[in-house]
Amino acid sequence: MPPPPRTRQIPVIVLAGFLGSGKTTLLNHLLRHRAGNRIGVIVNDFGSIEIDAMTVSGQVGSTVSLGGGCLCCAVDAGELDTYLETLTRPSSRLDVIVIEASGLAEPQELVRMILASDNPHILYGGLVEVVDAAEFGATRERHPEIVRHLAVADLVVLNKTDRAGEEERALIHRAVAATGSVAAVVPTTYGRVAPELLFDPALRPDGEEKSRQLTFEDLYLEERARETGEEHGGHLHTAYESVDFTSDVPMDPRRLMEFLDSRPVGLYRLKGYVDFGAGDADHAYAVHAVGRFLRFAPRPWARGEPRLTQLVLIGSGVDAQALGKELEGCRAAGEPGPETAQDAAHERAMWGVLRYVRQPGDDET
């Protein structure tokens, strides 16, 4: 995989859901199974929220260490930019930031604040809506706005499915589909979602990894393995699919954009680098997609770097083989340059589209 951009960007994930859905349970699970990442937690709530190794009790502006390099802050939404600035400082050494929204918060507003932020060190990491599968009907009666929340979510986690029957699960799937959403819908119990579905495993220097002390995550996993006889493998987590795609043939920009604009249901994240060949021979294009959010960022090819397209697609319930075939169909048929002034203008217009950042809520034109 080509080298990352010079300015390292930390994904910011919004974790939303109504009271009792299991947001904090899912957050605690991520802190225990964080794939080596140092997680920054921002709690957007004035109430009493239980997080393992700490309690936030109506304290706005407090920062507490969670161990293993993780931090937690309790903030007012108006202070979000200030704390994002604090948590993205190099001294914090964080890899991921999770905002746990109040049970009555409008998650779309938090998403807009992240996308509108001038902080160059953050990257939108998705809106995860947690739903109590057993109480969905009652929750929808009390909070009809949940339908709006489902419509804007990038990932819907159906929690407590052990307490819900097939009919209840089907009702929720229909409710999500009725909003026009193509979000991945992941069934789970006790908030056990694979962290790899939400963020990448941390890559640490070998010396640091070998010499570091045991973290809270290490101790928890070892204790659980002793008690249950389970290994640290993925069977504790909700299943997900990962598709790797590599091509030494440049991609056709229009075909690839058509594929990205019609991403299938269940495809949550897409990342990697794209070679557009003669369309822009000087640059590789980093692509980052979460739900409906899509961003391309050009960077110069390094000297001697192989001209490859390398993509990773992550989701739940996706057809890996079909995705691979669709991407193969996005390869350029050939590499002829624009033959006319009209063709050249068309190509330049296409690169303007590729530099565009498409955000949740944008109107389709």
H or E stretch covering 101: strand 96-101
Closest CA to 247 of 274, 286, 224: 274
Q: Look at residue 92 in the predicted model and tell me its pLDDT.
A: 85
Q: Look at residue 45 in the predicted model and tell me its pLDDT.
A: 60
Q: Look at residue 142 in the predicted model and tell me its pLDDT.
A: 93
Q: Look at residue 33 in the predicted model and tell me its pLDDT.
A: 86
DSSP letter string, 118-130: --TTEEEEEEEEE
Residues 6+ apart with CB under 8 A from 313: 242, 243, 245, 267, 269, 270, 323
Q: What is the pTM of this model?
A: 0.79
Per-residue burial over 150-179, b if 16 or more Cβ lie within 10 Å, else e, is bbbbbbbbbbbbeebeeebbebbeebbeee
H or E stretch covering 51: strand 48-51
Q: Look at residue 288 in the predicted model and tell me its pLDDT.
A: 94
Distance of CA 359 to the CA centre of its chain: 14
| Helix, coil or strand: residue 242 | strand
The DSSP bridge pattern shows strands 10-16 and 96-101 to be parallel
User: pLDDT tens per residue, the chain (365 residues)?
Assistant: 444 445 679 999 999 999 889 998 999 898 888 888 998 888 876 455 556 544 444 444 566 666 566 666 766 666 788 888 888 999 888 999 999 887 656 888 889 889 988 999 999 999 999 999 999 999 999 999 999 999 999 999 999 999 998 888 888 889 988 988 888 999 999 999 999 999 988 754 444 444 344 344 444 444 554 554 444 444 434 568 899 999 999 999 999 999 998 888 899 999 999 999 998 999 999 999 999 899 999 999 999 999 999 999 999 888 999 999 999 999 998 644 444 434 444 444 444 444 444 445 454 43
Helix extents (H) in the chain: 23-32, 80-87, 107-116, 136-142, 146-152, 166-178, 195-198, 206-211, 216-228, 253-261, 320-328, 341-354
Closest CA to 36 of 290, 212, 238: 212
Q: Look at residue 43 in the predicted model and tell me its pLDDT.
A: 81
Q: What is the distance between the alpha carbons of residues 260 and 302, in angstroms, rounded to a whole number?
A: 26
H or E stretch covering 297: strand 293-300
